[in-house]
A and B are shown apart, each in its own frame.
Chain A
């Protein structure tokens, strides 16, 4: 069994970013507290391989996001310090925050209109940086299924965004 503290240190930043992308910067610190609490309580299950550790922690985070979607994120005092930091750093004029909030609004809308199973593959691959193999591991489905979902998602997005572009051109004309 690997040592949990360095494993958390190594993955906490990516976990926070994942939670911020899924449920927003405001709620993400509280969700991360839940993730870390579960991780600690399941310390005995910690995989020995670094990659497996990452996938294991993201699997836990995925469950927390599912609960968050049902309004179950609870404010946690442990999150206060991090919330103060992230709230400031995500504010206007921040130079280091990753992509601006409205930069991909239309594309995010198109993704959200996909079948949820397709949309999640796109998000995990393009937003969170997982390989399709890792997406398969995280979702608990065969890699071939992930590949076919991804291909279908890309076809549907290309069509949707192409149509959107044509509409925009027509409106501007």
Chain B
């Protein structure tokens, strides 16, 4: 074969499709379950361990399970949450959240749960440092056309609330990493933890609504 006739080329191209998983009732059932489980509960968001941050301003920690415990997070572990928090965004809107469902080696899980339960959690995490980091290392946002834009102050993809919210998440993860390191543990050894949080009335960038962020 030294040349490709159109039909032959079409067949080659169609046959070059990478492998996909086997279609069948088990796959279909798993997809149907995922479609329903992915439905977000109103006012609740869940984040996985990989947190990135940015932001600054007053923090108010509710402590214990406080007000957050009364909120129905629609999370299966909400009654066993390790800790909760409340803080105020630059706009004055309030964010509250719960932390828990920590998975991994038992000793690291215990240390993580203890960190999450600290009553002085907001005193031991450094949100200002996280904001400084994020401003020095701005995140990028991918536009629908594939181009990337920097999420920096003054751009339409940035708001002070969004920056603060991200900074809180980064500061929490940095604080947890340092706390575990002080006990000789590596955060990366943790399998996962979850967080449910809600920030009603927060001034978020428009793209978050459009992208479902």
Contact = CB atoms under 8 A, between A and B. Distances in A.
A85 B16 contact: no
Given A89-B24, A90-B21, A127-B18, A158 B31 contact: no
A107 interface: yes
A75 interface: yes
Given A25-B19, A67-B142, A82 B27 contact: yes
A76 B9 contact: no
Nearest to B35: A8
Contacts of A32: 31, 34
A36 interface: yes
Range class of the B interface residue count: 35 or more
B39 A38 contact: no
A74 interface: yes
Given A42-B212, A75-B192, A16 B21 contact: yes
A13 B4 CA distance: 33
A78 B34 contact: yes
Contacts of B2: 162, 165-166, 169
Interface residues of A, number: 65
A98 B17 contact: yes
A63 B144 contact: yes
A77 B22 CA distance: 21
B6 interface: yes
Given A74-B48, A75-B192, A154 B17 contact: no
Interface in A73-103: 74-79, 81-82, 84-86, 89-90, 94-101, 103
A86 B27 contact: yes
Q: SS class of chain A's interface: helix, strand, loop or mixed?
A: helix
Interface string A10-50: 00110011001100110011001100111111100000000
A126 interface: yes
B136 interface: no
A104 B20 CA distance: 13
A9 interface: yes
A63 B147 CA distance: 11
A111 interface: yes
A161 interface: yes
Contacts of A161: 4, 9, 12
A37 B13 contact: no
A95 B22 CA distance: 8
Given A24-B18, A37-B212, A63-B144, 9 more contacts: A20-B20, A21-B18, A41-B212, A86-B27, A95-B22, A99-B18, A126-B17, A161-B12, A169-B2
22 contacts: A16-B31, A32-B34, A42-B212, A76-B48, A78-B37, A81-B34, A85-B21, A89-B22, A90-B21, A96-B24, A98-B17, A99-B15, A99-B18, A103-B16, A107-B16, A108-B16, A126-B10, A127-B18, A154-B6, A154-B9, A157-B9, A157-B13
Closest 9 CB pairs of A and B: A104-B16, A41-B212, A89-B22, A86-B21, A107-B16, A36-B38, A38-B212, A96-B22, A8-B35
Interface of A: 5, 8-9, 12-13, 16-17, 20-21, 24-25, 28-29, 32-33, 36-42, 63, 66-67, 70, 74-79, 81-82, 84-86, 89-90, 94-101, 103-105, 107-108, 111, 122, 126-127, 140, 154, 157-158, 161-162, 165-166, 169
